[in-house]
Structure 1
């Protein structure tokens, strides 16, 4: 089997003498040499715990350098890595740990303390739990780790995303997928050793890992990791740290546009170091992006992609002229076409389902052969999104075939929220749809019917469901109906519910100041 190119490997021999800062967070700044030592120490630690090629290592951590170190340490052993949303409930976390068959979990000290290694826990099952501060910082026996180098077909990451069943499933991304994606990203946006990414998106996201970690590292650049997005802190970081780009969701641009001309400490935001900014994960208003460009003097390039396609498949190049509503052209090595419904490609200007083909397409959904076969057909990834291509290959998204709710760039799946509501004994049926929101794009709202003779209140139902869901999935509102609207065949009429939801002014929805 062929080894991957050296530049892609996290233990590139050049790192051992690299004295440039490569990775920073609020607690630490690491040179290439220091990062190499930290990765070697963590890999040795994991190897001592039995991790080897084919194993899976999980991390349940907030944004911090150690999550990146754990990722590269797993790869150094030929193992796969699965990042877990640290805000997940115990049940959500345990599903991902057990489904991925992770043998080791690197967790925050607080979570590790709540789940002692002496017995199976509700959150981590039987996996070995390593408190993040215990993770070895340097190898005890240099060169002890001799596990095989990852090869293109090895699973590199298992990134979990929900589907039509509402049950999160693991997207298998191979090293070949990541190699193809990072090379294409570097080519399109011209990354190099001077590239400096400022990262505020959550690191359990494929966007954050690919666009802001793997791609700039491959080019020899650096990344600064923020714990979370806060508009004032972010603007101050851009002003002081002088990054060359960042990748964000539309809500972040809206928050930044709402900043005053001067920050509370008197700082005037200065974005002049940025070569560009990237916007993806949800539809963005062209007026908002142009307003951002005018105020901050930074070109925003839009893109489109799926976790199943290893992050991004189309993008506006920095040199492209802006086109209202377009998410750009296919990345090098990828093909994008519009399905004509008969197995062929629709002509320019005709809408249809967006299909993607290339080395970026996932190996499959872990343990879900039927769903994989239905999603990837003859090498074409069926996205479930409706779009149209113009004569020059620029893609514009029209609608979504799926019922996904995109809240601040996060994909929320109504069926998962509905399932949580339906565990309440008084609930007969539940339906969740998205309500438009000026900043977050959409927020989930719920409609339920009750079992005959049983009573409850919206507040009680929300409390019951929220206990089972990460906070970002909590419905913003809930209404109890006598019956749900239905279409002629008796199915719940979700378009009708969306119309009902839109009648409530978006201003009544919560407007958080962080993502």
Structure 2
């Protein structure tokens, strides 16, 4: 009988392979600083050595809170090299929320950026750290590694790396070992940690890399520049941008904050080939470029591809962007629990506006009824997913895992429609469905149509309490510059466009809509306003 060795598979191969073969190639750009693959790998090795010297062992959890700075990939891969699990935290969390994540994830160490006067991440991290007794080490990432720690009782990342060798024999994990824990947004309760394995993440990164490879430069000397403006703590930027594009040997140019003018400048400066955003970001670039008479030609000359996720792209915004920048927008869909990409447009097939592409290779998607039976083609149903990308489960939550993973499928909570070619449309989330007088109303449908009104720049539709009907429909609208459409006029227009039970009875105009760090409109804030 032949004994087979257990399969090992590690996320660190993403940078280690390029560090061996193309050490001098630029991996990361931040402002005027450049880091090669060799430097990125060496610094990750020094961090790994420092963590091991602190007593971090394979399987331990290490939290990381850092904006889009070069320290993020250095620490991320350093933690994984040490055999630990990375727990990435939203940089906007407050002390109570940070403490919850540290305690829930059972983090042994916490690497936290010092922050700014406006966002003192280090001080908030220390407050949270002091209430999480199982977390033994607070490591502050300072903008200048040589700076002393601004936090009493903490060490800096520079001190952690001091005198550590730039080589490290990375831990060899099993393919199903957890590599990363991503916390869900907590829109339906306390945030839950989705455990993603090395296999989940590497397979997803490989498939995403191959999807876009046909429109990028190829070959050993190819230079592709990818702009990351979505936050790296989030699944899309971390996995579909950082991991997938470093796996491809591309160069990442990092921006900690999305500002339309600055983004256009970086696109021009670094000759960006690929950018991923959410619909609100595309909307902002369009309006900034038009309002400031920006010369798009140098940007369009290098930009080969743009992709969108996080929310369905309004068709009008997509057409305007593609017309102005001369580049195709590829749409995708996924969740933290699906590593994250589950569907995407394919370069060799036409896009269908209003859809988020087709299932990835190795991934199955159905739209199902409440008994997990597929609904007829073209009808609404909950989106269920299975494949190499689906998480192991929610950390320490067997009941929630069983509920989400029942009958062999991951239940997304999203409502979708599949057409005859397998293109998926996301109609809404189950929880966002408005039940008005016994009729189901899907906000996404209303928003898509209202975006075609000549005065509407941005819209979000929510349900508000109503004593008679249970819920009434309300639209929050940002008007286009110079437009003065009234509530009465817009409601009358909607009445002509929608069935009597669908159209919004209330319209509130806003200068802007509240958004999360990833650019999603925060409907829960609108409901509470």
Give yes or no for the alignment of 1:496 onto 2:472: yes
Question: Secondary structure of the equivalent of 1:259?
Answer: helix
Give yes or no for the alignment of 1:287 onto 2:316: yes
8 Å Cα contact 1:43-1:73 kept in structure 2? yes
Alignment RMSD:
3.3
Q: 1:232 to 1:116 in 2, by over 3 A?
A: closer
8 Å Cα contact 1:246-1:277 kept in structure 2? yes
8 Å Cα contact 1:315-1:330 kept in structure 2? yes
Q: 1:138 to 1:33 in 2, by over 3 A?
A: farther
* Structure 2 residue runs without a partner (length 5+): 1-5, 143-155, 435-442, 478-503, 520-529
Q: State the partner residue of 1:215.
A: 244
Q: 1:127 to 1:356 in 2, by over 3 A?
A: same
Return the offset for 1:310: 1.1
Match 1:46 to one of 51, 54, 58? 51
After superposition, where does 1:36-435 map in structure 2 within 5 Å?
36-110=41-115, 111=120, 114=123, 121-122=130-131, 126-133=135-142, 134-136=156-158, 140-142=163-165, 145-146=168-169, 148-163=171-186, 165-190=188-213, 193-261=222-290, 263=292, 270-403=299-432
Distance 2:196 2:92 in 1: 23
8 Å Cα contact 2:99-2:129 kept in structure 1? no
8 Å Cα contact 2:459-2:476 kept in structure 1? no
Return the offset for 1:396: 1.5
Question: Secondary structure of the equivalent of 1:211?
Answer: helix
Question: Secondary structure of the equivalent of 1:95?
Answer: helix
Return the offset for 1:314: 0.9
Report the TM-score when normalising by structure 2: 0.76
Return the offset for 1:17: 5.3
Distance 1:404 1:60 in 2: 33
Q: 1:127 to 1:444 in 2, by over 3 A?
A: farther
Distance 2:17 2:111 in 1: 24
Question: Secondary structure of the equivalent of 1:3?
Answer: coil
Return the offset for 1:144: 6.9
Return the offset for 1:279: 0.8
Q: 1:371 to 1:5 in 2, by over 3 A?
A: closer
Distance 1:443 1:231 in 2: 25
Q: State the partner residue of 1:485.
A: 466
Question: Secondary structure of the equivalent of 2:356?
Answer: coil
Distance 2:458 2:86 in 1: 29
Return the offset for 1:306: 1.1
8 Å Cα contact 1:262-1:269 kept in structure 2? no
Distance 1:12 1:328 in 2: 31
Query: What are the Cα deviations for residues 216-236 of structure 1, in whole angstroms up to 9, with x where unaligned?
Result: 111111211111111111111
Return the offset for 1:164: 5.8
Distance 1:163 1:372 in 2: 15
Q: 1:141 to 1:258 in 2, by over 3 A?
A: closer
Return the offset for 1:113: 5.7
Q: 1:112 to 1:126 in 2, by over 3 A?
A: farther
Q: 1:44 to 1:220 in 2, by over 3 A?
A: same
Distance 2:458 2:30 in 1: 26
Match 1:507 to one of 506, 509, 515? 509
Question: Secondary structure of the equivalent of 1:22?
Answer: strand
8 Å Cα contact 1:302-1:326 kept in structure 2? yes
After superposition, where does 1:416-455 map in structure 2 within 5 Å?
442=460
Distance 1:175 1:440 in 2: 39
Query: What are the Cα deviations for residues 450-498 of structure 1, in whole angstroms up to 9, with x where unaligned?
Result: xxxxxxxxxxxxxxxxxxxxxxxxxxxxxxxxxx53588xxxx3x4264
Return the offset for 1:194: 3.1
Q: State the partner residue of 1:469.
A: none
Larger mean CA deviation between 335-344 and 350-359 belongs to 335-344
8 Å Cα contact 1:6-1:12 kept in structure 2? no
Q: 1:302 to 1:500 in 2, by over 3 A?
A: closer
Query: What are the Cα deviations for residues 218-273 of structure 1, in whole angstroms up to 9, with x where unaligned?
Result: 11112111111111111111112112111110001101110245858978662221
8 Å Cα contact 1:18-1:33 kept in structure 2? yes
Q: 1:12 to 1:264 in 2, by over 3 A?
A: same
Distance 1:10 1:22 in 2: 9
Question: Secondary structure of the equivalent of 1:314?
Answer: strand
8 Å Cα contact 1:236-1:267 kept in structure 2? no
Distance 1:310 1:299 in 2: 24
Q: State the partner residue of 2:494.
A: none
Return the offset for 1:77: 1.0
Distance 2:317 2:476 in 1: 26
Distance 1:21 1:293 in 2: 29
Return the offset for 1:89: 1.0
Distance 1:440 1:309 in 2: 29
Query: What are the Cα deviations for residues 385-407 of structure 1, in whole angstroms up to 9, with x where unaligned?
Result: 121211111112223212399xx
